[in-house]
A and B are shown apart, each in its own frame.
Chain A
Amino acid sequence: MHEMTVAELSAALAAGRISSEELTRAFLERIERLDPGLNSFITVTAEGALEQARAADRRRARGEGGPLTGVPVAHKDIFCTLGVRTSCGSRMLDNFVAPYESAVTERLAGAGMVTLGKTNMDEFAMGSSSETSHYGPVRNPWNPDTVPGGSSGGSASALAARLAPAATGTDTGGSIRQPAALCGVCGLKPTYGRVSRYGMIAFASSLDQGGPMARSAEDLALLLQAMAGFDPRDSTSVEEPVPDYAGELDAGVEGLRIGLPREYFAEGLDAGVARAVEEAVAQFRRLGAEVREIGLPNTRLAVPAYYVIAPAECSSNLSRYDGVRFGHRCADPTDIDDLYKRSRGEGFGAEVKRRILVGTYALSAGYYDAYYRKAQQVRRLIRDDFRRAFGEVDLIVGPTSPSTAFRLGERLDDPVTMYLSDIYTIAVNLAGLPALSIPCGFVDGLPVGLHVIGDYFREGRLLAAAHRYQRETDWHRRAPAGFGG
């Protein structure tokens, strides 16, 4: 049962072959048995899950509900969930029980999905390894000595270990796609504004985007269908009709023009990863796609621009954690400054502090023009690169991450190397484009992710290409030893 995709589970539920309650019990049992070695969950909501499962079963019995009704899901602990702790992986919010529900979790609950719990993550989504969590590091089921990637590493790890058939993630600079790649699962970052950010704890507001994670492109389509859509509570959400993603899934890739940015196949890319990606490209060619080389000349500016803009926004977004109204408050403050300093000093971890400091500096009087304004100009150049490219091609393909999963602790004290592991994903966030990562091979037993980038609001085309590829390959069906059938 745990090997089945969302689409398969949905069919089984619809046919009455299994009940949501059985399914939910099975996943809860796996979580209890297997997660202690992975640490992919921060909170497991077993009781609530069983209640929701029974409600879903009743709904199905009445002939109501949709394809997702009764299917379990794990939510990244960045989405506010009414009455359930929402920690964002931080000591600061260890005591925070949200008094309201995020748009994403509300929509998926409305579709009848059953919430298994809240997944572990880098603190406030700041990291690429899921090691900066207050609740300890998450491990990669393919090799527990390696990281699952981040920041949505808990969701990716849980999917790979078959602890949940579906999950949510958020992606500010690659936080859905990079862990999906490192854990051998699928993840989609939608167009900025496609999915409401309401109730999603902000890291960098102009870059953050929630999206689905699962084990097939078809599942991503089912999940995105429920998540996407305009939300008047988020001023940056876009009033653009949501297409029928499942209906577009079989569009194939024949005649599609695929661009390979020469800058993505350059220095720093692991040779094994490059081979796997090239083989996937060859597969697309065999399926009728036309492949050509393109240029994204400002690629090298993406990481520096990102590491000005994201920290600048985060330095302001995280000011609300001051110990006054909610979250961690230091013991016995002597005055207001002491309250601020110790509450924030104790509540935030090192990586979060590093980014607040960098962002505060970048926005300071006298530095704003040199850093923040300049970074925004670079951002426009990067967006223009993609605009030009999408004049020539329909999809852009490359590696999701320059390497496979790295060892726990290896890059913790080397932030720049850590930051560079997001080199291919970051530009997509700066431009606000949709992109996904799907498994395309292995290097030394660790999964490799294929990165497919599309034009604005062309998630349907992305999913169709990935689905076509997955009909020919079985990389996405492979399970890590000890977690499979």
Chain B
Amino acid sequence: MNVDEVKLEWIKGIGPNSTIALSSRIRLARNLRDYPFPSVAKKRDLEGVVQRIKDVLAQDPYFKPFTLIMLSDLNDLEREALVEKHMISPDHAKSGNKREGALLLENEGVLSMMINEEDHLRIQCFLGGLQLSEAWRIIDRFDSILEKHIDYAFDEEFGYLTACPTNVGTGMRASVMLHLPGLVLSKKIGRVIEEVSKIGLTVRGIYGEGSEAMGNLFQLSNQITLGLSEEEIIDKLEKIALRVIEEEELTRKHLFKTKGIELEDSLWRAYGILKNARLISSKEAMELLSKVRMGVDIGLLPSIDKYKFNELLIKIRPAHLQLSVGRELSPEERDKIRADLIRESLN
């Protein structure tokens, strides 16, 4: 299995509102009723969980286009690359190889499932654009078919039981990845974050630490998982996402009117640097790619396919760079290969 080439459907940039909403993701936390949760489970319990899943995969033809990977069969770099693809969590990459961690991958890169992470199963559906309802339809089907074969840990009052009580109920986290350079530039993002948190949703930066959002990429997601149905959570999230997208579009127009030549200059400069740099850090690349993407969105810069931007977001990250050349690289070497890769992609 070549991790470097694991596909991701959302990268294609297809789907409604995919200019600003890069991707829609739904994750379901599920546990097997008869096994202790991974944090306290013994090795043989964890092996039992993997074996149960293997049995189901062999039994049901629905799972034909899926591949099961044991994390212990991968090296550090490959596991890290899966983190960069958002297929597994950093925790899963760190301890999954010792704790019977596994990943189930579907060929087209729409569905995947972490096994033996915080919960026994973390199912994920990843689509381009704002398509939470469609993602729910797909993941709901997967979940229902899986459930025909195994008994989930479920409680009438608390819903799906999870290792951490913050996830009980639907066990669902739905999120939209949004590119919001306009709201950051106009400093409106703080208010958006504040407003959204009042209605049970959260906005946080995707890359970078704490409040810093590298590349102006934010994740809008639900915080509450108990008491509302999946459809209600998704409906609310989708409505708010549309509002934020609308606000971003309006702000971009306004910025252009008020900052005209200044903004134009800054976007063209970003374009110039990306097309000519010989060394570039990940942080600078993310910043400039965000500007160029906005420039293309508003028709200022020559057209570039969204696919390229989405792909670069992942390919310029350290583990992917190192996998692409097949060896470990020093940070300086990475900056050079990253610059080469971006030049190649944009020229």
| A, B bound | no
Residues of A at the B interface (CB closer than 8 Å) are none
B residues engaging A (CB < 8 A)?
Answer: none
